[in-house]
Amino acid sequence: MLYFANWKILLICAVCALGVLFSVPNLVSPSALDQLPSFVPHKQIALGLDLRGGSYLLLKVDFEAAQRERLNSLIDNVRNALLDANIGYTGLEVKNDAIVFKVRQPERIDDARQALAKIDPDLVVTITPDGSGTVQFSAAATETRRAQAVDQSMEIIRRRIDETGTKEPTIEREGQDRIVVQLPGVDNPERVKALLGRTAKLTFQLVDTGASLEDARSGHLQPGDEVLPAAESGKVRIGPSAYVVRKRVIVGGDMLIDAQPTFQNNEPVVSFRFDAEGARRFGDATRDNVGKPFAIVLDNKVISAPVIREPILGGSGIISGSFTVQSASDLALLLRAGALPAPITILEERTVGPGLGADSIRAGTTACVVGVALVVVFMVLFYGLFGVFADIALFFNLCLMLGSLSLLGATLTLPGIAGIALTMGMAVDANVLIYERIREEVRAGRTILSALDAGFKRAFGTILDSHITTLVAGALMFWLGSGPVKGFAVTLSIGVLTSLFSAILVTRLLIVTWVRRSKPRAVPI
């Protein structure tokens, strides 16, 4: 235990040097850091919402609304399946979480059940003896789609926030259908809320020129049509307030590969570009419907309804609609990030001022400094020169911890500061176990080298067990916890690993070096 090969000494020194190097950037301001040479590490520990200030949003994924929309899209499939089988029906509509209908001929119930079962394997078809039927998604399919909707929503929310330039956002799931969004440094969350609250579902649909808006509003709506309102604008409305459009979608926004704000005739517009399949479908639809208007629909509102003058075969186009520069930029951002699979509602919103974060940093820093100072004094008073060795190892332990957090890009929260203070005490706790074991060996009459060797060997098992159990607890907190609990778990786990390195290797190297050079006759503890 007291022998160190040269490569081990070099490795320990290199690790300690890297820890100091990667922790130094946290001691200077970002502006000063930018002026340092490129070979100097530039990564700093990101401050969490409770330290830096910013916005906190609790969002809910309205999966039920998305489920109803999907059922509405399946009504045509149910209608066609029954018509193809020559089965009469009445009352076909969506109620709650199912499509309901009634078969006119009870003797055709089995035929209806077989025809509808072919639509989608995830659907459950139930028809009672009197002909009343329901079509709904199975419980397993519903839960699977719910989980997928939340996961997809989190990914799209992350893309939208990244597009705004917000650094180090925290986006986590909470419960079954809720998402927590923390935006450090964002003082005014209104624009972010507007971006997150929009589903951004873009579709291109044909306008039914043969249908009258007045007739549609009075209830005479043709099958396959729907009435969609025109998007609101700050300018005087020129076109109609609503449109009768075909439900069939020509091309969806999921086929867009790019969208950028630009200008046309000195007016802000959004240019878009489809992928190969979208370009083909859009080209075919515009070629077959020259002279007819088509609606550009965003979140069930018609942005504009231009007339197709000629086939659009290039796979790109322009969306105009009385945009401002900011609204055009936001729409392009939403289209690039993709549409949310379900509507999002904001359940809770909090704004944390930077002053509160500054107070937390000062209080946390003071607590850490006082705690470390007391630990340093305690070790020197109780263990003399060996206490100094432990304090030196404690310094490198702190540098390794801060350097690891910086290198990993971890976010430091107020509980994280508590984790740092806790690991400082744990680091010297390992030294205390070693030193007390050495004292026992000296009292038992062992020589200096024998006592030192036995002290490190016999204390190693206890130290390793205690650190592993703490590491397991930290891993469980990170896995099961969220937000501040995860921040505490990260700093605690990193601190456990660095304290194990500093207490076992750094302290032992210092003691071995001292023994070789001074050749003492007694252990100074």
Please state the separation of Cα 34 from the chain's center in Å.
28
Q: What is the pLDDT of residue 356?
A: 57
**Encoded tokens for 141:** 């399919």
Name the pairing type of β-strands 267-274 and 301-304. Answer: unpaired
**Using one digit for the tens of pLDDT, what is the confidence trace for 182-222?**
887 776 667 777 777 777 788 888 888 878 877 777 777 77
Tell me the C-alpha distance between 24 and 19, whole Å.
9
**Encoded tokens for 210:** 């043969």
Can you list the residues of the chain whose pLDDT is less than 50? Answer: 236
DSSP 36-94: S-TTS----PEE-HHHH-EEEEEEEE-HHHHHHHHHHHHHHHHHHHHHHTT--EEEEEE
Burial class (CB in 10 A: 0-12, 13-18, 19+), 14: exposed
SS (H, E, C) 150-166: HHHHHHHHHHHHHHCCC
Q: Closest Cα to residue 467, out of 496, 430, 504?
A: 496
| Alpha carbons within 13 A on the beta-carbon side of 158 | 12
Which residue carries 């789609």 as its tokens? 145
Residue 183 bridge partners (DSSP): 55
Which residue carries 């820890």 as its tokens? 19
Q: Closest Cα to residue 392, out of 7, 13, 124, 127?
A: 13
Q: Are 261 and 274 in contact (CB under 8 A)?
A: no
Which 8-state DSSP code applies to residue 168? S
Q: What is the pLDDT of residue 236?
A: 46
Q: Closest Cα to residue 503, out of 433, 454, 446?
A: 433
Q: Are 87 and 115 in contact (CB under 8 A)?
A: yes
Task: Map residue 4 onto helix, strand or coil.
Answer: coil
Reported as type and span, the H/E element at residue 173 is strand 170-174
Q: Are 334 and 160 in contact (CB under 8 A)?
A: yes
DSSP 386-455: HHHHHHHHHHHHHHHHHHHHHHHTPEE-HHHHHHHHHHHHHHHHHHHHHHHHHHHHHHTT--HHHHHHHH
Reported as type and span, the H/E element at residue 273 is strand 267-274
**Encoded tokens for 51:** 């330290």
Name the pairing type of β-strands 256-264 and 225-229. Answer: unpaired
For residue 167, the tally of other CB atoms under 10 A from its CB is 12
Task: Map residue 176 onto helix, strand or coil.
Answer: coil
Tell me the C-alpha distance between 103 and 101, whole Å.
7
Q: What is the pLDDT of residue 233?
A: 59
Q: Are 493 and 405 in contact (CB under 8 A)?
A: no
For residue 129, the tally of other CB atoms under 10 A from its CB is 7
Which 8-state DSSP code applies to residue 253? G
Task: Map residue 321 onto helix, strand or coil.
Answer: coil
- Residue 154 has phi, psi (to 5 degrees) of -60, -40
Tell me the residue type at 411.
T
Q: Are 243 and 305 in contact (CB under 8 A)?
A: yes
- Average pLDDT for the chain: 83
Q: Which domains does the chain have, with CATH numbers?
A: 6-52+355-518 (1.20.1640.10), 63-142 (3.30.1240), 198-350 (3.30.1360.200)
**Encoded tokens for 333:** 């951002």
Which residue carries 């076992």 as its tokens? 504
Q: What is the pLDDT of residue 388?
A: 92
Burial class (CB in 10 A: 0-12, 13-18, 19+), 76: middle
